[in-house]
Amino acid sequence: NAGVTQTPKFRVLKTGQSMTLLCAQDMNHEYMYWYRQDPGMGLRLIHYSVGEGTTAKGEVPDGYNVSRLKKQNFLLGLESAAPSQTSVYFCASRKTGTGDYEQYFGPGTRLTVT
């Protein structure tokens, strides 16, 4: 049981390049989230999904797109990277119906845009 995994762990992009971050969970969780972490700002929600085939915008969605084609995977895409997207990205997942409301986090992806 690997929990929540994220690929890649590190990436350096040039301005204007594109990339996709992959989040995978093996806990059969319904809800999945993408956050970005910046110094002094905590974590901010980018997009989230409440089930396979559904996505919704969070607090800071501009410049990002997401897809949830399979229940266990949640992809975060940057179509044209900008230096402002330099950040650490965390994926999280949560099971519904259990009453504990805990989100389980992946180890993070450190992205630098030059």
Partner 1 sequence: AQSVTQLDSQVPVFEEAPVELRCNYSSSVSVYLFWYVQYPNQGLQLLLKYLSGSTLVKGINGFEAEFNKSQTSFHLRKPSVHISDTAEYFCAVTLLQGAQKLVFGQGTRLTINP
When asked if residue 108 is in the footprint of partner 1 (CB under 8 A), the reply is: yes
When asked if residue 8 is in the footprint of partner 1 (CB under 8 A), the reply is: no
Whether the CB-CB separation of 99 and 112 falls below 8 Å is answered with no
Query: Of these, 24, 87, 90, 111, which contacts partner 1 (CB under 8 A)?
Result: 90
Whether the CB-CB separation of 91 and 8 falls below 8 Å is answered with no
| C-alpha to C-alpha distance for 47 and 55, rounded to whole angstroms | 7
Query: Of these, 11, 19, 22, 43, which contacts partner 1 (CB under 8 A)?
Result: 43
**Which structure tokens are listed for 10?**
């590190």
Segment near partner 1 (CB under 8 A); pick from 17-25, 31-39, 65-73, 79-87: 31-39
Give the up-direction half-sphere exposure of residue 68: CA atoms within 13 A in the CB hemisphere: 22
The helix/strand/coil state of 56 is strand
Query: Of these, 78, 81, 94, 113, which contacts partner 1 (CB under 8 A)?
Result: 94
* Residues forming the site for partner 1 (CB under 8 A): 4, 31, 33, 35, 40-45, 48, 50, 56, 58, 90, 92, 94, 99-103, 105-108
